Structure 1
């Protein structure tokens, strides 16, 4: 790499002469000093016109802490599976617990793979220039490339999410947990009654046939106090609900496990006291510690 520097000298007679100073193979420190002193006339040709991104960029990936917690351990997930879970009241957290953590585990694994693939593809690309770039210009270009990488990766993740939502919603998939639709079969008869679930959140009522994102605050309910389901299937309306034994902050339930976990903030899982309260009703929570 040769660095040439043009210096304009003005004599008393107003004649102008350009002096070119060539520095062979300057180091980075010298180049930076000269670029500050001679920003308009400094020119530094490169011996190579391209360099791969992984030669000067590295990434420190940080994922949501729950992805490395005990909550995504299969032993824990298996411990909270109950074979009669669909019999719980639809707002009861026990009806979706295992499925929530299965989804979280899958999302963590999927996002890690997607990010890894995106970074691998990005670091294999090249930056092209026949002259050394000033520090500020170089930083602007690299930051723009990284922002584009982030935007592209997020758009791809959103595309996958939208694809899942579209297929679930448009195909009217009926949850085996009976949380979005409920089919009541009359014994000894071919007649089946099809009900659509509704959830209240605040002052609004949301219908699962129109919106899969209907959610409500999760809790533990006394299922023995309510026999059968009233029509219409409106959940979250306090006069009609079973007796609430425990509210679980930051966790939502609703039409489907996938949509409700995406609407959850998971704050309970950062708190040992909250985990201890859930453990009273689900012994499997004794296997986990709070998310750090």
Structure 2
């Protein structure tokens, strides 16, 4: 086997990929530019859930949504909280879009350090890992901030302008007001009495995500001063709004709601939404179902797909290897074999030329020594026999 070193000057991307396939373990292509920005070879074009581009989050729709006297509506009435909830929905969409845009700009401004060009397979694996880490970090940061805001709002004791988590009650005896916190029943439309266990009541002082099915009520009442502050829907609502919840705060109740009613024209007509508002498209391609909670969509920043693409060619052109080298082994041909044989013969001739004279001298020395020891003398030939010597 014969080892060779090959070199290709300024290889094209096609040549590089061919060499990568042929010599994956020995190919070396040093980059002429070692620091490469991500935006030189990566591109993002996120596609968001249709609600974030719909009329439902437009200011025109929100400003005309049940423009009512809030004090006349029951806390569980959808019309009381609808405007605030859709303001929250619009804010969530804007937060998601702004966060993704900001994080992508920071991400694409980073640089990858590459001393030598890597194969397409290695490149794609590295890009996939980078993108996955960025997406995970972005989503986790937004979720953390949203939870932090909710906790601050709850612990600070802020009273909603809708009087859904707290409301003021006047004491006519002393002409003073005191704050009463709201409580929501869990699971049933009617709570028969005020002696409910804690398992059926959600208290707004302990948590802000107490929710109950939203509906339309034909009365406006608050619990009397001498009764429990549980919002008891008795009598039941005229009708409920499918998927929509109400509760302590518009933010938390909207997150737990679904938008299933807003995919249906009949449902929109039922709750009095203008014919000018186009329902969401239930047949549109989406990874979120019609009955998906808003919180589930927000946890994914309403992203249907990030539509990220990476171009290996752009990466390779930015790397710009000036030369690639590789080693390979090859069986010798007849000429190579003859050359090796002659070299071997020449080497043996040289060695023998040195060793033979030394061996001859050594042999002669030993022969002379042996002859000297074999010559008899008169002392060891007492019989006087004639000795014959062969020269």
Pick the TM interval, shorter chain: 0.7 to 0.9
Secondary structure, aligned partner of 1:194: strand
The Cα of 1:90 is off from its aligned counterpart by 1.2
213-222 vs 181-190, greater mean Cα deviation: 181-190
Which deviates the most, 136-145 or 199-208?
199-208
- Higher share in strand: 1
CA distance in 1, matches of 2:109, 2:9: 30
1:107 aligned residue (92, 113, 126): 92
What is the deviation of 1:64? Answer: 2.4
Who is 2:202 aligned against?
206
Residue equivalent to 1:171? 156
**Is structure 2 residue 237 aligned with structure 1 residue 244?**
yes
Give the deviation of 1:165 after TM superposition.
Answer: 0.8
Q: What is the CA–CA distance in structure 2 between the aligned matches of 1:195 and 1:267, rounded to whole Å? A: 33
Cα distance in structure 2, aligned partners of 1:43 and 1:54: 25
Partner Cα distance (1:241, 1:176) in 2: 24
Partner residue, 2:132: 147
- State how far apart, in whole Å, the 2-side matches of 1:97 and 1:262 are: 13
Q: 1:45 aligns to what SS in structure 2?
A: coil
Shift of 1:150: 0.8
Segments of structure 2 that go 5 or more residues without pairing to the other structure are 188-198, 282-391
SS at match of 1:287: coil
Cross-structure match for 1:229: 223
Q: Secondary structure at the match of 2:134?
A: helix
In the aligned structure 2, how far is the partner of 1:204 from the partner of 1:42? 70
Secondary structure at 1:259's aligned position in 2? helix
* TM-score normalised per structure 2: 0.65
Change (3 A) 1:182 1:242: farther
What residue ranges of structure 1 are gaps of 5+ in the alignment?
1-9, 11-16
What is the rounded CA distance, in whole Å, between the counterparts of 2:88 and 2:108 in structure 1? Answer: 30
1:220 aligns with 2:216: yes
Cα pair distance change 1:134/1:58, threshold 3 Å:
same
Instruction: Provide the C-alpha distance between the structure 2 equivalents of 1:105 and 1:207, rounded to a whole number of angstroms.
Output: 27
Larger Cα-atom Rg: 2
Whole-angstrom distance in 1 between the partners of 2:275 and 2:223 = 32
Paired residues in the alignment total 268
Q: Tell me the SS of whatever aligns to 2:254.
A: helix
With over 3 angstroms needed to count, the CA separation of the structure-2 counterparts of 1:201 and 1:29, relative to structure 1, is farther
Cα separation, 1, equivalents of 2:173 and 2:63: 36
For 2:241 and 2:58, locate their aligned partners in 1 and report how far apart those are by CA, in whole Å: 21
Q: Secondary structure at the match of 2:244?
A: strand
Q: Distance in 2 between matches of 1:246 and 1:227?
A: 18
- 1:62 maps to what in 2? 47
2:280 paired with 1:291: yes
**Bigger relative contact order, structure 1 or 2 (CA pairs below 8 A, ≥6 apart):** 2
* SS of structure 1 residue aligned to 2:7: strand
Please report the TM-score for the alignment, with normalisation by the length of structure 1: 0.85
